[in-house]
Structure 1
Amino acid sequence: MTDQQPAIRLTGLTKEFGAVTAVDNVDLEIAAGEFFSMLGPSGSGKTTVLRLIAGFEQPTSGTIELFGQDVTKRAPFDRDVNTVFQDYALFPHMSVLENVAYGLRVRGIGRKERNERARRALASVRLEQMAARKPSQLSGGQRQRVALARATVVQPKVLLLDEPLGALDLKLREQMQVELKEIQRDLGITFIFVTHDQEEALTLSDRIAVFNDGRIEQLGTPAELYEHPGSRFVADFVGTSNLLDDAASHELLGRGGLHSVRPEKMTVGGGETGADVHNAPGTVVETIYLGSGIRIVVDLDAGSRVSVLEQNDRHRVHDDERGDRVVVSWHDADVISLATSESVTDAAAAASV
């Protein structure tokens, strides 16, 4: 982190619902102007942390600071943050311009000024030509951009996004990911993005906190999390991994412990040579056509099942078929040694301060 005041600082943040601990002693700093994602499966605590930052829930213990100010006890309307939800929550009877200007109207801003500011906000999401339309006359992606404009028109210091792209189809979601990153860069506002979609988090984020059981399992940049996952959970949740337990590691690597190799780091062929190359014979279980790539599932003679991802390019000679005998190769430099969850959590806590 830099010496600049963080946009958000969470210290010892805990939230209990009866006997259930949804957030367990989380320490975290998020930089001003950062696109920060909280990634994890359902029930991991990420959405509860977002709601605590927004003020929709009160913590059982711990503090929440916004640019150095303790806002732990403040009501949602008294925090300089705004939230974009998955369902957009647009008013169907209002025009797009009226929807965007609504927050300014509540704050007592005059009609002329609020309409001017609303038009500028619409221009920032490239929808100024849609100002007179009703939400029902817009596509899903356009409604999502209206929701963004409505949230940013009041110029919050932090924008919270609770799985805002979850209701969109795949093609539109991919398009909105690019647009959302551009909007955040143009506005310079701190974005805190909650998602269970690891590809979405990798695409959008400056940094990601991977949540598991109410705690941060690992914290880092997309490249750090993907290339150097610190635990079995992170390796398996962020992307796809071939996990080798202690017995498989002894058999295939010549050393014990828990290890991982990404599918795209492996190849299927006649076997590579070199001091750092591992070769393992096996039988093809399935070949899956993905369009841009081919996924080959192989049962290794050593007893492990691995997935190999190959590019669908002009260099491919033929498709391996079910039952074919093959040799799977990978370089030792691409083998990831996985730590225990406890050591990763400790490292994440240290990295956040």
Structure 2
Amino acid sequence: MTAQPAIRLSGLTKEFASVTAVDHVDLEIAEGEFFSMLGPSGSGKTTVLRLIAGFEQPTGGTIELFGADVTRTPPFDRPVNTVFQDYALFPHMSVLDNVAYGLRVRGVGRAERRERAMRALAAVRLDGFADRKPAQLSGGQRQRVALARATVVEPKALLLDEPLGALDLKLREQMQVELKQLQRELGITFIFVTHDQEEALTLSDRVAVFHDGRIEQLGTPRELYENPASHFVADFVGTTNLFGPDHARTVLGREGEFSIRPEKLTLAAAPSAAGGERSAAGTVVDSIYLGSGLRHIVDLDDGPRISVLERNDRSRTVDPGRGDRVHVTWHDEDVVALIPPGA
């Protein structure tokens, strides 16, 4: 990056007794970027967020926010704010008072803090709920109050620690759209922590996939999904079919380890003769109806059990049932080479 990054982590390390939670992480996040840190529990992503916020002190390395070294700066002196999964709203306060609380702590006068709090509520479409208590709101509305409270103090960056994790699926999908829209309207840097790969792909400009305290791969959602660099990323980000060295040799005719996404495969009654395509024979174990598509589980004669995802439209050439013989076909360009585990 040529411009000064909003956040720069250099050799960031955090150890808890004998456990290295964050292992020499180097990372730059651009100003105005929606950046996600994705990984399973224990991968180090939340610890990195807490280090940026100042809630934890690093064992080694440095943290720069907007060009200033804040490695030893206390949380309240950093130009960031944090939204947690549990919202942490004051139950005895009105929605307006919850949002204005940070301004009150900063000594902002009553008239100004009311005006700014109402503007923040309007930004999350809750200006008609100012006099309600948190208990009178839905989960999605409470989440928006938490966002308004975090943004009303005008932080340069907003840190979000799995803020949608407590919501049901439909509400979570709705909040994803609203969160991305809010970030675009505010124009500030969002750092989003999640273990949900679909959430990270939906929201982010870029994603860092964490594994064992390190960044396994960094890229745009498309780059991570279409070109996973390692076995871990291919397996963690979305659903994929993995071919180890033995099966890669017998099925793909290649040496190494490879990945093919289920939607890149098709089923046919006969092997493909088209240039750039290969086919492998197998037996359908199960076909699962998904509404928008069908997922077929196929045992390849000379390979592993794989998943094939077909759209539920008129392009399907076969409609196999359990026990049917099929030929699975793919394009050579859709086969992605991986760095094997431990390499």
SS in 2 for 1:333: helix
Do 2:257 and 2:340's aligned partners in 1 also have CA atoms closer than 8 Å? no
What residue in structure 1 maps to residue 291 of structure 2?
Answer: 291
SS in 1 for 2:249: helix
What residue in structure 2 maps to residue 348 of structure 1?
Answer: none
Which of 240-249 and 307-316 deviates more? 307-316
What residue in structure 1 maps to residue 158 of structure 2?
Answer: 159
* Counterpart residue type for residue 288 of structure 1: I
Residues of 1 paired with 2:159 and 2:208: CA distance? 15
* Counterpart residue type for residue 158 of structure 1: A
Residues of 1 paired with 2:324 and 2:342: CA distance? 41
Shift in Å, 1:136: 1.0
Shift in Å, 1:20: 0.2
What residue in structure 2 maps to residue 62 of structure 1?
Answer: 61
Residues of 1 paired with 2:175 and 2:272: CA distance? 41
What residue in structure 2 maps to residue 256 of structure 1?
Answer: 255
What residue in structure 2 maps to residue 349 of structure 1?
Answer: none
Residues of 2 paired with 1:340 and 1:68: CA distance? 37
Residue 52, structure 1, aligned to residue 72, structure 2: no
Which digits, 9 at most, give the CA deviation of each residue in 1:270-327, with x for residues without a partner?
2332121111110011111111111000000003111000111244466421111111
Residues of 1 paired with 2:224 and 2:279: CA distance? 26
What residue in structure 2 maps to residue 183 of structure 1?
Answer: 182
Residues of 2 paired with 1:97 and 1:151: CA distance? 13
Residue 332, structure 1, aligned to residue 332, structure 2: yes
* Counterpart residue type for residue 307 of structure 2: S
The list of structure 1 runs, each at least 4 consecutive aligned residues, that deviate by more than 4 angstroms after superposition, is 340-343
TM-score normalized with structure 2 length: 0.98
What residue in structure 2 maps to residue 214 of structure 1?
Answer: 213
What residue in structure 2 maps to residue 235 of structure 1?
Answer: 234
What residue in structure 2 maps to residue 277 of structure 1?
Answer: 277
> What aligned pairs does 1:194-209 form with structure 2 within 5 A after superposition?
194-209=193-208
Which digits, 9 at most, give the CA deviation of each residue in 1:191-214, with x for residues without a partner?
000000000000000000000000
* Counterpart residue type for residue 98 of structure 1: D
Residues of 1 paired with 2:58 and 2:340: CA distance? 28
* Counterpart residue type for residue 224 of structure 2: L
What residue in structure 2 maps to residue 121 of structure 1?
Answer: 120
Do 1:14 and 1:25's aligned partners in 2 also have CA atoms closer than 8 Å? yes
SS in 2 for 1:264: helix
Residues of 1 paired with 2:171 and 2:41: CA distance? 23
SS in 2 for 1:268: strand
Equivalent pairs, count: 342
SS in 2 for 1:92: coil
Which digits, 9 at most, give the CA deviation of each residue in 1:132-179, with x for residues without a partner?
111111111111111000000000011000000000000000010010
Residues of 2 paired with 1:71 and 1:340: CA distance? 37
C-alpha change, 1:285 and 1:342, in structure 2 (3 Å) is: closer
Do 1:258 and 1:337's aligned partners in 2 also have CA atoms closer than 8 Å? yes
SS in 2 for 1:217: strand
Do 1:230 and 1:340's aligned partners in 2 also have CA atoms closer than 8 Å? no
What residue in structure 2 maps to residue 76 of structure 1?
Answer: 75
* Counterpart residue type for residue 327 of structure 1: H
Do 2:268 and 2:318's aligned partners in 1 also have CA atoms closer than 8 Å? no
Do 2:267 and 2:318's aligned partners in 1 also have CA atoms closer than 8 Å? no
Structure 1 stretches lacking a partner, 5+ long: 344-353
What residue in structure 2 maps to residue 350 of structure 1?
Answer: none
What residue in structure 2 maps to residue 307 of structure 1?
Answer: 307
* Counterpart residue type for residue 331 of structure 2: H
Residues of 1 paired with 2:174 and 2:253: CA distance? 45
RMSD of aligned C-alpha atoms?
A: 1.2
> What aligned pairs does 1:125-164 form with structure 2 within 5 A after superposition?
125-164=124-163
Residues of 2 paired with 1:317 and 1:223: CA distance? 28
Residues of 1 paired with 2:8 and 2:342: CA distance? 22
* Counterpart residue type for residue 272 of structure 2: E
TM-score normalized with structure 1 length: 0.95
Residues of 2 paired with 1:303 and 1:253: CA distance? 9
Structure 2 stretches lacking a partner, 5+ long: none
Residues of 1 paired with 2:342 and 2:158: CA distance? 31
